[in-house]
Amino acid sequence: MRLMGYSAERSRQAAQPRLTGRQKMVLDFIKRSIQDRGYPPTLREIGASMGIRSTNGVNDHLRALERKGYLKREDMKSRALRPTSTTSADVVEVQVLGRVAAGVPIFAEENVQETLHIDPALLGGHGETFVLRVRGDSMIEAGIFEGDYLFVRKQMVAERGQVVVVLLGDEATVKTYQPEKDYVRFMPANAAYAPIIVRREDMNPTQILGVVTGVYRKL
């Protein structure tokens, strides 16, 4: 793991408001148009792609994207639509997941608290990544503290000694993975806490959500 530092610009990106599903669809359509054709779509083209008959309805989405900092327009001209730098190819989106609700899949929309826009180099190019906000002090001796953001590579397998995010009941917890013959030991990094021991026969393959690849702490 590594401590991830952010510039002021990246801190601003991290605080950028989340988009609704429809707003993200509009933004993605604009970006695809610019990438494929070299220029943005008209309001009518956006409306047609989204099933919105009124240009006023399209404008509502565009105004929301502007207000949230994802889009710039010049003189209300549709051909002057430009995604901001925070949505360009030099950043990626990762979702910050909150407390896991009973009966709701961990990666469901209900569990997404916010979206961070970050430099992909900080992720190390390791597949799909999500973020969890740390609660508690059970991993302080591993340098993981209350309030930290953990960058987690989504996968269902881990190697002995890796720090993993594991779903136990309705709680996602961060511990060191130590498999044994008949059981798996999830080790805290705080002498005040006891290991969590799960019998092999009780382990579900989907319980391991991912391996921690980095830590970000706001100073």
Any bridge partners for residue 167, and if so which?
Answer: 172
Which DSSP letter does residue 98 get?
A: -
Residue 45 CA to residue 98 CA, distance in Å, equals 36
Contact 208, 172 (CB under 8 A): no
CA 140, CA 83: separation in Å to the nearest integer?
40
Contacts of 103 (CB under 8 A, 6+ apart): none
Give the three-class secondary structure for 108.
coil
Cβ atoms within 10 Å of 139's Cβ, excluding its own: 25
Q: What's the CA gap between 178 and 168, in Å, rounded?
A: 15
Is residue 168 a contact partner of residue 207, using CB atoms and an 8 Å limit? yes
Residues designated as active site = 138, 175
What type of residue sits at position 214? G
**Which residues, in sequence order, are CB contacts of 78 under 8 Å at separation 6+?**
40, 41, 42, 43, 46
**DSSP label of 39:** S
